[in-house]
């Protein structure tokens, strides 16, 4: 099967237009139409139907779509594997990130990597934690950033960086001037929680359990699925919360929130860099695997957050 037909099919499926696809892949519209027709004849199915809004995928087209994407990824990986034999750091590198604090460290690390290896094209992909394993095992991503060490035997992990988790309160909160609070003081306050899959939430509940405080004991005001929303609610005085110190850094520098120690509680989260264990050589991925712990990058992994 001619991979160019697959590439044309994907472009038409994405744009729903022969003319727009022709512009993007630098072919004439008749050439695009001809490639789609040849692919349909080869597969003995109809892939598109015309509608008032453009082209729409048929049932067969929808079935072909994930296989076509996988074929293109495998083709790119094959080319990059061949290039790696020449020790050239080239090609695509896709990094999926499901960690909140990872979103603050990873882009800076990737920027340094791209500066050192300008021929590599890096994409940072947002990903929910529950989908991370699938994306790595299906080779949708070459690397992943997660906030808990994976247990799947098909994955390999190494520590990326550590991030402190702390209680944050509004700068106008009565606690803001205190040196610390007791764990039991939390029972008197409205608490804004992260979603159930959050690594921060897991660490916080594990630490509170040491003081016989569980989720049902807390006065949970809201559950919010992103750290930015949590911090805005805290800054506006709607409650207190536990967040990554990396995530709260900007609002702390602006004087809108403060971190408050809790007696006897020290919370730290380890972020891991993960890759598929059994996979073909991929030069850009393997170079990044070692690059993160190069001595010149130590400042990113141990930044002073206070």
Q: In terms of CATH architecture, what is 163-269? A: 3-Layer(aba) Sandwich (3.40)
Position 306 scores a pLDDT of 40
Q: Are 170 and 235 in contact (CB under 8 A)?
A: yes
* Residues pairing with 276 in the sheet: 155
Position 251 scores a pLDDT of 95
Position 10 scores a pLDDT of 93
Nearest alpha carbon to residue 2 among 34, 47, 24 = 34
Please give the chain's pLDDT, 306 residues, in tens: 788 999 999 999 999 999 999 999 889 999 999 999 999 999 999 999 988 878 999 999 999 999 999 888 888 877 766 765 555 566 889 999 988 878 889 999 999 999 999 989 999 998 887 788 888 988 889 999 988 888 888 999 999 998 899 999 999 999 998 999 999 999 989 999 998 888 889 899 999 999 999 999 999 999 998 899 999 999 999 999 999 998 999 999 999 999 999 999 989 888 999 999 887 778 889 899 999 999 999 988 876 444
Q: What is the C-alpha separation between 195 and 100, in angstroms, rounded?
A: 12
Three-state secondary structure readout of the chain: CCHHHHHHHHHHHHHCCHHHHHHHHCCCHHHHHHHHHHHHHHHCCCCEEEECCEEEECHHHHHHHHHHHHHHHHHHHHHHHHHHCCCCCCEEEEEEECCCCHHHHHHHHHHHHHHHCCCEEEEEEECCHHHHHHHHHCCCCCEEEECCCCCCCCEEEEEEEEEEEEEEEECCCHHHHCCCECHHHHHHCEEEEECCCCHHHHHHHHHHHCCCCCHHHCEEEEEECCHHHHHHHHHCCCCEEEEEHHHHHHHHHCCCEEEECECCCCEEEEEEEEEECCCCCCHHHHHHHHHCCCHHHHHHHCCCCC
Q: Are 102 and 246 in contact (CB under 8 A)?
A: no
Distances in Å between the Cα of 163 and the Cα atoms of 1, 43, 266, 269 are 48, 52, 11, 5
For 87-161+270-301, the fitting CATH number among 3.40.640.10, 2.60.40.10, 3.90.1150.10, 3.40.190.10 is: 3.40.190.10
* Residues pairing with 261 in the sheet: none
Q: Are 194 and 227 in contact (CB under 8 A)?
A: yes
Residues with Cβ within 8 Å of 196's Cβ and at least 6 positions away in sequence, in order, are: 223
For the chain, the structural domain boundaries read: 3-82, 87-161+270-301, 163-269
Position 84 scores a pLDDT of 59
CA dihedral 19, 20, 26, 28 (to 10 degrees): 0
Position 85 scores a pLDDT of 58
Fold of 3-82: Arc Repressor Mutant, subunit A (1.10.10)
Would 3-82 and 87-161+270-301 be classified into the same CATH topology? no
Q: What are phi and psi of 39, to 5 degrees?
A: -65, -40
Radius of gyration (Cα) for the chain, nearest Å?
24
Token pair belonging to 205: 């509940």
Cβ neighbour number for residue 86 with a 10 Å cutoff:
8
| Apex 228 CA angle, 208 and 123, nearest 5 | 110
């Amino acid at each position: 099967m001619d991979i160019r037909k697959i590439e044309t099919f994907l472009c038409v499926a994405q744009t729903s237009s022969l003319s727009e696809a022709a512009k993007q892949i630098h072919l004439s519209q008749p050439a695009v139409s001809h490639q789609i027709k040849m692919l349909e004849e080869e597969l003995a199915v109809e892939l598109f139907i015309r509608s008032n809004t453009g082209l729409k995928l048929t049932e067969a087209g929808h079935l072909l779509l994930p296989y076509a994407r996988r074929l293109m990824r495998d083709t790119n990986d094959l080319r990059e594997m061949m290039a790696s034999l020449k020790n050239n750091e080239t090609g695509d590198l896709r990094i999926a990130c499901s960690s909140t604090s990872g979103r603050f460290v990873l882009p800076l690390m990737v920027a340094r990597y791209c500066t050192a290896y300008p021929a590599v094209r890096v994409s940072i992909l947002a990903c929910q934690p529950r989908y991370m394993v699938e994306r790595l095992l299906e080779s949708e991503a070459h690397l992943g950033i997660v906030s808990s060490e994976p247990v799947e035997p098909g994955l390999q992990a190494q520590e990326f960086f550590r991030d402190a988790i702390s209680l944050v309160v509004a700068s106008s909160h009565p606690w803001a001037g205190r040196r610390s609070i007791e764990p039991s003081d939390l029972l008197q306050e409205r608490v804004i929680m992260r979603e159930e899959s959050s690594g921060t939430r897991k660490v916080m509940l594990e630490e509170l359990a040491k003081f016989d405080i569980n989720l049902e004991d807390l006065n949970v005001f809201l559950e919010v699925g992103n750290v930015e929303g949590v911090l805005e609610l805290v800054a506006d005085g709607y409650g207190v919360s536990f967040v990554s110190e990396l995530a709260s850094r900007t609002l702390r520098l602006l004087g809108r929130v403060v971190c408050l120690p809790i007696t006897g509680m020290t919370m730290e989260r380890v972020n891991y860099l993960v890759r598929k264990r059994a996979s073909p050589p991929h030069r850009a991925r393997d170079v990044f695997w070692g690059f993160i712990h190069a001595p010149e990058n130590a400042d990113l992994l141990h930044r002073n957050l206070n």
